[in-house]
Homo-oligomer: A and B are copies of this chain.
Amino acid sequence: MKLYEWDFAPNCRRVRMFLIEKGIEIPKEECITPDIALKDPFLSKYKHAMVPMLELDNGVQLGEALAIWIYLEALHPNPPLLGTTPLEKAVISGWERRAYDEGIIGHAEIFRNSHPQFVDRGLPGHLGPVPQIPALIERGKQRVARFHKKFNEQLASNKFVAGDKFSVADITAVCVVDFGHALEMQIPDDCPHTKRWFDEMLQRESVKKSVPTHMPDGSPIPIAA
């Protein structure tokens, strides 16, 4: 197997953290040029033009972080990160989705619609021009604010995002908070429970070893970890 990725991308970090938590080693290939274009041979062989992508030894290509998680969880069930009982699985899925839709998408809206290297690249996976929409910066901030309000409330009475066990919901939420750091946005002062949880997350090997090393322009990332 081989994992195609872009170090900075939160969706790729979702997979890197998962691999470290599972103790799975898979060769990785960074497939982004310095000016942040997907490069060949990746681009010509993977029509969805997005990272991460897991290529199996028989050539099958699996895209989308969730799909890659599902595949690897089935092959390596322990420790379970997608839940074991029906209820656990559903609760984890719901919170992982909220972290994604409100946190990852919120920060991505801010980032892609403001960063000078993303002019005409407002969405991933589109090979034609997708103009930036400056109004999405403000909407992205609204999404991020909702993420923080909701997750701080949830973490007030739960050790981890989806309850008493570490799961993919924590993985995506860590990627949300550190994506914020890269945009120089901090956990709000009125979210002490998220701060407590994030401090605990920073102790995990999977968080420390998955930190992106550079911004799209090559400069260091202002990440807290």
Contact = CB atoms under 8 A, between A and B. Distances in A.
A23 to B, nearest CB: 18
Interface in A79-132: 85-87, 89-91, 93-94, 97-98, 122-123, 125-126, 128, 130-131
A60 B162 CA distance: 13
**What's the number of copies of this chain in the assembled complex?**
2
A222 interface: no
Interface residues of A, number: 39
A146 interface: yes
Interface in A176-219: none
Contacts of A48: 98, 150
Contacts of A60: 87
Contacts of A131: 135, 139
A48 B143 CA distance: 13
A130 B139 contact: yes
B67 A93 contact: yes
A64 B133 contact: no
A71 B97 contact: no
